[in-house]
A and B are shown apart, each in its own frame.
Chain A
């Protein structure tokens, strides 16, 4: 029976589903109360994804309960929207259809293992970056941090896209293996986990890279219940630099050489009015007196290597910046450097100050080569002004990533705005529509995440791959219960 038909069948069917859900997870962990469901109805992306309540919220405690919920939903053909720690700004966990089950995985918050010898951590969906780092630092290890609040889920962030940018040195593949429950109740284990669950530490197990194939689906394949990720060393030797540039073009040669010689653990080019405030940890500084763009860099390493890297970094600074008059070394207070360490290699907290600039935050995140960065910025600036945003609302952020093949960079085109202001939503939608096309025409490697409005203009450009992708999703989820409407 189609779930839509059932919905119109009235409360009886809804009550029956609720009863079954409560039998699985316990009465207090499943509800259809409208107020409880309302709290899941909207996220920061509401200008693009309209608010919608799920019909049920279910909070399973373990993978077996997840499995039973999915099997029930599959049998009844009820949509399931997975959510890990309750934070999402892309509308990915806002239901599209009536009658949806919101699968709140918040109770599954165990750190299953930290293996210091293997430099890996195995976590459940609701383990946050803060929770994990609190434990890994005891072993002088850290996870790769996203530039998202440290309250977000490790598993979901890695799974949705395994590329993270706060540390350039961490590279772009943090996921080793995971365990996923499919709608039919089957459990899939990827990487070396497929052969031995006690050895989940290698990405490539049998056959193709299934870990990668399943990744980056917004809850549309199944539910990942356990994931093993890489951890990275924490070094005692660290030094921060802040370099000012008046244009992105001026910064590019220096960034290229520093990345090419693999000198820094972190490198971020930001404009002087947005993310820089979070990097420095305060609103109270004369940021307007600074050059338009500021490069925040961090050199680290063990004794000997650290000093050598630092020396070459300074040499590049002289050769590509100072001697050519392209930029200047900024003399910031010591606490700015400390805050930058924390934000970059200890989990993002103060960076969230950007949310407070004008109240709301919009960005297009993409991957592309460094040499395209000036063009991306210019397109961003031009389009934002074209749709009616003042120039001071236009912000920018660039992070190069190792290995630097293809000059790989994460680029963020930001608009900080007042979401309560009339017309803000219309302008943003107009901006997105134009900018997606502009960027696709200019050439990008890919989008940061699959999110609202981004799939449609992209899918038509990828040829037969789109057809394969659709068929792949259909095989895993023939009844289309997994977060329907978020991809196709």
Chain B
């Protein structure tokens, strides 16, 4: 999304700095629940939405002319989770999603050539290997049994291919168990979600990858593309369209795995066995706040396990801390955010925290290891695969 300077300044001027965006809805629970990982962790006003907007104002007005450490930290140590906007729009008529404003701020900064080294590194890896982790080898799995020309295409994503392959494996097994023929791209390139979240929209790499993935998917003949990664789904659905790569114009449907499975459950009445597991569901930011998908993962998950909800859920879910390029550039902050989420999950008495996003799983798993938590960290598709 490219916002005009006037649009941005208007949004900045309309922030009255009440900071209600930093806490979850208070009434009627009357519980004080922070909502902004960045502000809560770093403390300075620069890390809360109102302060961050002031920095953007100074950037636009030419008051800030050099890339200080504080600038890069304040601008990039935010997961763009969008919780601030969800809260703000409940008590105001805020016009622009704050995450989009902050992404635009990054775009402005990257145009000036200022960015964290970690993001430069990712860009270089993507350029060199076509994936965000710089992996030279292609994804391989004994469960991968694609059918050329199938109606369904599974877009696996870099994180499920190279860091949490159990999610990809589970999804492949689900296709198999349900008798769904699927294909994968022969050359799946990074969707560039992480680069766009980091403000690299204007780089050639992003444009090149959008073109490649769009053409490859269109040429595959697939009618439905299934994603286990909400970041990839959001990027292909929303960001690609802004670059003229609009899948809806080609009649291609983009679905998250939980939407795809929910549809099959409703159409076919799948035989899902109950598992002896009490789970709590963590809403991934891209899936929930960005795409409005809250019910489908819960419906799929509840077919197999008992769900016990956390205090902060859905629009007001506490972010796991890994998105927006934070995991790569500010890992301590990312892991701290996830540990906060684990504490909340433990309060529910659940055996497992279940998400629907490889990024969330990876970071929550790192946090569980760091904190010595006994909680299992799983993805919805892993549970469903077990229950089929």
Question: Is A468 in the interface zone, CB < 8 Å from B?
Answer: no
- CB-based contact B93/A357 at 8 Å: yes
B23 neighbours in A (Cβ, 8 Å): 130, 151
Distance between A425 CB and nearest chain B CB, rounded to angstroms: 10
- CB-based contact A349/B91 at 8 Å: yes
- CB-based contact A419/B13 at 8 Å: yes
Complex CA gap A305/B101 in Å reads 54
- CB-based contact B64/A35 at 8 Å: yes
A347 neighbours in B (Cβ, 8 Å): 26-27, 30
Task: Please tell me which one of the listed residues A34, A59, A106, A150 contacts residue B68 in the complex, with CB atoms under 8 A apart.
Answer: A34
Task: Please tell me which one of the listed residues A57, A134, A151 contacts residue B30 in the complex, with CB atoms under 8 A apart.
Answer: A134
B26 neighbours in A (Cβ, 8 Å): 130, 150, 346-347, 349
- CB-based contact A149/B44 at 8 Å: no
Contacts A35-B74, A349-B26 given; does A85 touch B19 at CB 8 Å: yes
- CB-based contact A39/B54 at 8 Å: yes
Distance between A278 CB and nearest chain B CB, rounded to angstroms: 8
- CB-based contact A38/B54 at 8 Å: yes
B91 neighbours in A (Cβ, 8 Å): 349-350, 352-353, 355-356
Contacts A89-B16, A419-B14 given; does A33 touch B70 at CB 8 Å: yes
Complex CA gap A137/B19 in Å reads 23
B70 neighbours in A (Cβ, 8 Å): 31, 33-36
Question: Is A1 in the interface zone, CB < 8 Å from B?
Answer: no
- CB-based contact B30/A41 at 8 Å: no
Contacts A33-B71, A359-B14, A420-B14 given; does A39 touch B52 at CB 8 Å: yes
Distance between B108 CB and nearest chain A CB, rounded to angstroms: 13
Question: Is B337 in the interface zone, CB < 8 Å from A?
Answer: no
- CB-based contact A352/B19 at 8 Å: no
0/1 interface trace, chain B 46-78, chain A, CB 8 Å (1 if under): 101011101101100001101011110011000
Could you pull out 8 A-B pairs where Cβ atoms are within 8 angstroms?
A38-B46, A38-B63, A40-B54, A44-B17, A107-B43, A360-B13, A360-B14, A360-B16
- CB-based contact B46/A42 at 8 Å: no
Complex CA gap A357/B66 in Å reads 37
Measuring CB to CB, which residues of chain B are less than 8 angstroms from any residue of chain A?
9-10, 13-14, 16-20, 22-23, 25-28, 30-32, 43-46, 48, 50-52, 54-55, 57-58, 63-64, 66, 68-71, 74-75, 91-94
- CB-based contact A35/B68 at 8 Å: yes
Complex CA gap A31/B47 in Å reads 14
B9 neighbours in A (Cβ, 8 Å): 420
Complex CA gap A349/B28 in Å reads 11
A192 neighbours in B (Cβ, 8 Å): none
- CB-based contact A356/B93 at 8 Å: yes
- CB-based contact B30/A346 at 8 Å: yes
Complex CA gap A430/B92 in Å reads 27
A-B interface contact total, Cβ < 8 Å: 141
The 4 closest A-B pairs by CB, nearest first: A33-B70, A39-B51, A356-B92, A35-B71
Complex CA gap A359/B17 in Å reads 12
Complex CA gap A151/B39 in Å reads 14
0/1 interface trace, chain A 424-463, chain B, CB 8 Å (1 if under): 0000000000000000000000000000000000000000
Complex CA gap A360/B48 in Å reads 20
- CB-based contact A104/B44 at 8 Å: yes
A40 neighbours in B (Cβ, 8 Å): 45, 51, 54
- CB-based contact B44/A57 at 8 Å: yes
Distance between A477 CB and nearest chain B CB, rounded to angstroms: 25
Contacts A85-B19, A151-B22 given; does A131 touch B32 at CB 8 Å: yes
A418 neighbours in B (Cβ, 8 Å): 14
Complex CA gap A346/B75 in Å reads 35
0/1 interface trace, chain A 31-53, chain B, CB 8 Å (1 if under): 10111101111111000000100
Q: Which of chain A's residues 226-283 have a Cβ closer than 8 Å to chain B?
A: 283
Complex CA gap A363/B63 in Å reads 29
Q: Which of chain A's residues 281-312 have a Cβ closer than 8 Å to chain B?
A: 283
- CB-based contact B43/A349 at 8 Å: no
Kindly list 11 other residue pairs between chains A and B, CB separation below 8 angstroms, not including A39-B54, A151-B20, A418-B14. Answer: A33-B70, A36-B44, A41-B58, A44-B16, A349-B20, A352-B92, A353-B91, A355-B92, A356-B94, A357-B93, A420-B9
B71 neighbours in A (Cβ, 8 Å): 33-35
* Contact residues on A (Cβ < 8 Å of other chain), bracket: 35 or more
Distance between B76 CB and nearest chain A CB, rounded to angstroms: 11
0/1 interface trace, chain A 313-354, chain B, CB 8 Å (1 if under): 000000000000000000000000011001000110110110
- Give the nearest-CB partner of B18 in chain A: A149
Task: Please tell me which one of the listed residues B45, B68, B69 contacts residue A39 in the complex, with CB atoms under 8 A apart.
Answer: B45
A356 neighbours in B (Cβ, 8 Å): 91-94
Q: Which of chain A's residues 205-235 have a Cβ closer than 8 Å to chain B?
A: none
Distance between B93 CB and nearest chain A CB, rounded to angstroms: 4
- Give the nearest-CB partner of A142 in chain B: B30
- CB-based contact B92/A39 at 8 Å: no
Question: Is A128 in the interface zone, CB < 8 Å from B?
Answer: yes
A104 neighbours in B (Cβ, 8 Å): 43-45
Q: Which of chain A's residues 102-125 have a Cβ closer than 8 Å to chain B?
A: 104, 106-107
- Give the nearest-CB partner of A355 in chain B: B16
A31 neighbours in B (Cβ, 8 Å): 44, 70
Task: Please tell me which one of the listed residues A29, A36, A87 contacts residue B17 in the complex, with CB atoms under 8 A apart.
Answer: A87
Complex CA gap A40/B23 in Å reads 20
A339 neighbours in B (Cβ, 8 Å): 27
- Give the nearest-CB partner of B71 in chain A: A35
Task: Please tell me which one of the listed residues A35, A150, A151, A355 contacts residue B46 in the complex, with CB atoms under 8 A apart.
Answer: A35
- CB-based contact A87/B18 at 8 Å: yes
Task: Please tell me which one of the listed residues A33, A107, A134, A353 contacts residue B32 in the complex, with CB atoms under 8 A apart.
Answer: A134
Complex CA gap A459/B204 in Å reads 63
Distance between A101 CB and nearest chain B CB, rounded to angstroms: 14
B32 neighbours in A (Cβ, 8 Å): 128, 130-131, 134
- Give the nearest-CB partner of A43 in chain B: B17
A353 neighbours in B (Cβ, 8 Å): 91-92
Task: Please tell me which one of the listed residues B17, B20, B30, B64 contacts residue A89 in the complex, with CB atoms under 8 A apart.
Answer: B17
- CB-based contact B55/A39 at 8 Å: yes
- CB-based contact A86/B92 at 8 Å: no
Contacts A420-B10, A420-B14 given; does A349 touch B27 at CB 8 Å: yes
- CB-based contact A106/B64 at 8 Å: no
A134 neighbours in B (Cβ, 8 Å): 30-32
Contacts A134-B30, A349-B27 given; does A355 touch B18 at CB 8 Å: yes
- CB-based contact A86/B28 at 8 Å: no
- Give the nearest-CB partner of A281 in chain B: B27
Distance between B9 CB and nearest chain A CB, rounded to angstroms: 7
Complex CA gap A106/B14 in Å reads 24
Question: Is A389 in the interface zone, CB < 8 Å from B?
Answer: no
Contacts A31-B70, A342-B27 given; does A38 touch B18 at CB 8 Å: no
Complex CA gap A359/B9 in Å reads 12
Distance between B162 CB and nearest chain A CB, rounded to angstroms: 34
Contacts A34-B71, A356-B92 given; does A86 touch B45 at CB 8 Å: yes
B16 neighbours in A (Cβ, 8 Å): 44, 89, 352, 355, 360-361
- CB-based contact A86/B48 at 8 Å: yes
Contacts A31-B70, A349-B25 given; does A36 touch B46 at CB 8 Å: yes
